[in-house]
Chain A
Amino acid sequence: MKSSLFSKLHPLSFLIFFLEALITCFYSESAGLLVIFICLFIYAIIKKKAKTLLWGLPLAAFMLILNPIFYHGGETVLFSFWGINYTLEAIENGIYSALLILCTMLLFSVLGSTLGEEKFLYVFGRFFPKLALMISMIFKHFDLLSDAYKKTKNMAKMNGCYQNDTKLLEKIKTAAVIFEAFTGAALEGSIDTALSLSAKGYYSKHKTHIKSYRFAARDFLFIALCSAVFVFVFFRQPWVFLPATAVLFLIPIFFGRGEATV
């Protein structure tokens, strides 16, 4: 697969776009959010990340239901139930909050995956190099931990450790044994990492911090394009800000297709 323009961009230009998108999200009203949601949803399908919504939907539904119950402002009373007035404005507000949650989730999961952990850590590492390294290692440890858990559990399953656990207490006991075994294995892994760190000279004083991305002409062009569109988002007329929002969120669909990794 061809690599996308996004993957060729400097992390900083991507970050600028990401922030602009985020601000637009929070600035937009319901109509704008709907446009954003549709664009991001299409992009999520392209990127095979639409599953994120499964996590977001219950939360959004919760907001939708809860908002009218606790918020009684607004003038258009639709109906009353148990002495509570349900207003159109409250329901609108609920829809807005639900959409905002879904859009933010999509934005982070879809564009976040396009940015990639490496680029994220790069941007972060420019300001906090040691912390960035630590985060990177913590990520690796999550991997190690989940890997150790999966492997131990798989082995236990293959050895028939679960098949006769009918009672809850037995299930908990087996889980405890497996937990003990895999944490032991994972802890051993962390000692190994510590050894490996010192073997690779991590504690030396003169280190090089790699800046492996360069600002190219396409970065300037990209930032100019995004920012030009971004300005129009703040116009009051719907026939200006709606198309501007749409264009801003169509950018990932045009430029973000293809391989994400560098």
Chain B
Amino acid sequence: MNVLDVKDFSFTYPDRHQVIHNLSFSLAKGEMMLICGKNGCGKSTLLRCIKKEVAPKGKAQGEIRYAGTSQILFQDCDKNIIFRSAYEDLIFPACNSGMPEEEINKKAEEVLALFGITHLKGRNTGTLSGGEKQILSLAALFMLEPDLLLLDEPLAQLDEPAKEVFLQKLALIQSSGTAIIIAEHHTDTVLEKAQKVLIFSDGTNEVFDKKALKDATVLPNFPEYIRLEQRLQLPVRDFTAAEACENLRAVKENIIICPLQRTVPQEQIVLAGENICFSYGENKVLNGLNFELHKGEIAFLCGANGAGKSTLLELICAFHKPSSGSVHVHNNHRLGYLAQNPVFSFLKDTLLEDYRFVLKKNKLPESVIRDAFARYPLFADLEALLGKNPLDLSGGERAKAAIFKLILLGRDIMLLDEPEKHLDKNSMEALSNMLLKLSKSGFSFLIVSHSPDFIYRTAHAVHHLSDGSITSFTPEQYFPQQCETSLYKAIKPTALPLSDVTEAEVKTHG
């Protein structure tokens, strides 16, 4: 019996922007469907339309029917949290479902242990990191065993171990008969487990069975190994990593994969932290930490969820005072900061108004905008967006607009907190290229990120934060010994070297 039936479903927003066109599909018990598509293509809209309680405003046509219960996880981790007490948040859906008290308490203990977050039980949700909030919300969904689970980019903020755990649990709940729809940019492991794939592209939406997937004309956000196979024109049938390995082994002798070319940044130090200590109440976060950032360097700050990465950026910006130690900004360099939630970066209703406002406040002439467009052609596409509300921009555009603002203000050291968080693969690559170009013009970056692929493409240096202190690596030391990119993980059995599909050149002999 089908858990979910969608028949000729279309959805149009009140501004007449149609995002879903005549969509029909069905999901049986224990089936998983992956939704792929660019930022803003309608993935979240579809998930919300299915969960009727949270359906967006607009004109819906067609039919969505499901039997049984459903649970949804929103993309924004703050949206999923209601209470101050983490435990209360965890048991809330279960309480609402009328589950008996003993069962709730038992199940809560189980779920907390399952996700390894027993230590979060007594915490205030306001003090949790983005990733911790995400795991907590996921755990809350596992308290119940819904017939249909709707997940909107659940992996975006998780560190690698948490991702693994989450995917294992997902498989578990799937085997118990729950149907799952998951919208995700990190498709690598999800694609293997999915039976169906819904592809959104340029105003079309089509559902493919896994077997029929090879007939799809566009494959947005597909795993790197599939992009590599496509690039080498190898036959793709099953869309699995195992198949990719087999294919690559057959042609291994004939391909050259060049490692990524990295420029070495200048030696001049622009930002340094010395012996920084910091605690939230009794919870010690940073413990005698040292770091350096050089001119033109893109350094990444990595570490587990809740390790204190965002806190370090906030300390550098002097939002908090370290309990000991100090931060030095050398030689009149100026700090710019982009928070994890870009909503707080913009103060005005349109991008142009916002730029004008901050320029005025900094006593800079408006001509700076024109000059900056002329000097940095890679921001040219922002010109068309100047009249738009910053909150209506796509994630990639918003990151770009915020970085452009920092350039206008003459900030040459930029601290970015997970700028790639909800970006699709193309936008992420564009962002990476933009950062690399800017670094060549002398801008320095310290970036917090969870995406190994993004770090691998972009980094000059990687600072790993754990137990309150930093261990620094060059990218060559960090990959693959400390961290594996999604491509490397998939094609590891072939013993091909680590590479990046778009940057590394792949040559076929004969």
What residues of chain A have their CB less than 8 Å away from a CB belonging to chain B?
1, 117-118, 136-137, 139-140, 143-144, 147-148, 150-152, 154-156, 158-165, 174, 177-178, 180-182, 185, 188-189, 192-193, 195-204, 206-212, 261-262
Contacts and interface: CB of A to CB of B under 8 A. Distances in A.
Interface of B: 51, 53-54, 71-72, 74, 76, 78-85, 87-88, 91-101, 104-105, 122-123, 125-126, 140, 282, 314, 317, 319, 335-337, 339, 341, 343-348, 357-358, 361-363, 405, 409
B82 A188 contact: no
Contacts of B96: 200-202, 204, 207
A187 to B, nearest CB: 11
Contact of B85 (A117, A151, A185, A193): A117
A154 to B, nearest CB: 5
B75 to A, nearest CB: 11
Given A140-B82, A201-B93, A207-B98, A152 B344 contact: yes
A174 to B, nearest CB: 7
A210 B95 contact: yes
Contacts, number: 143
Contacts of B357: 161, 177
Contact of A164 (B123, B140, B363): B363
Contacts of B98: 204, 206-208
B104 to A, nearest CB: 6
Contacts of B104: 208, 210
Report whether over half of chain A's contact residues are helix, strand or loop; otherwise say mixed.
helix
B84 A151 contact: no
Contacts of A208: 94-95, 98-101, 104
Q: Which 8 A-B pairs have the closest CB atoms?
A: A206-B98, A201-B96, A261-B122, A198-B53, A151-B344, A192-B79, A200-B93, A181-B347
A144, A147, A161, A210, most chain B CB atoms within 10 A: A210
B78 A192 contact: yes
Given A188-B343, A192-B79, A199 B361 contact: no
Contacts of B126: 140, 143, 147
A159 to B, nearest CB: 5
B82 A158 contact: no
Contacts of A159: 336, 358, 361-362, 405, 409
Contacts of A185: 343-344
B125 A163 contact: no
Given A158-B317, A197-B82, A118 B88 contact: yes
B82 to A, nearest CB: 6
Nearest to B408: A159
Given A199-B72, A204-B96, A158 B343 contact: no
Contacts of A117: 84-85
Given A181-B346, A199-B53, A160 B361 contact: yes
A197 B76 CA distance: 15
Contacts of B362: 159-160, 163-164
A201 to B, nearest CB: 4
A188 B345 CA distance: 15
6 contacts: A143-B126, A148-B344, A181-B346, A185-B344, A207-B98, A208-B100
Contacts of B282: 1
A191 B64 CA distance: 24
B444 to A, nearest CB: 16
A156 B83 contact: no
Nearest to B126: A143
Contacts of A212: 101, 105
Nearest to A188: B343
A155 B344 contact: yes
Given A193-B82, A196-B80, A207 B361 contact: no
A117 B83 CA distance: 11
A96 to B, nearest CB: 35
Contacts of A203: 53
Contact of B83 (A140, A158, A161, A177): A140
A159 B361 CA distance: 9
B365 to A, nearest CB: 14
Nearest to B97: A201
Given A185-B343, A210-B91, A199 B54 contact: yes
B101 A262 contact: no
Contacts of A164: 361-363
A236 to B, nearest CB: 44
B339 to A, nearest CB: 6
Contacts of A207: 95-96, 98
Contacts of B51: 199
A210 B346 contact: no
Contacts of B53: 198-199, 203
Nearest to A152: B344
Given A139-B84, A181-B346, A208-B100, 5 more contacts: A154-B317, A161-B358, A181-B344, A200-B82, A207-B96
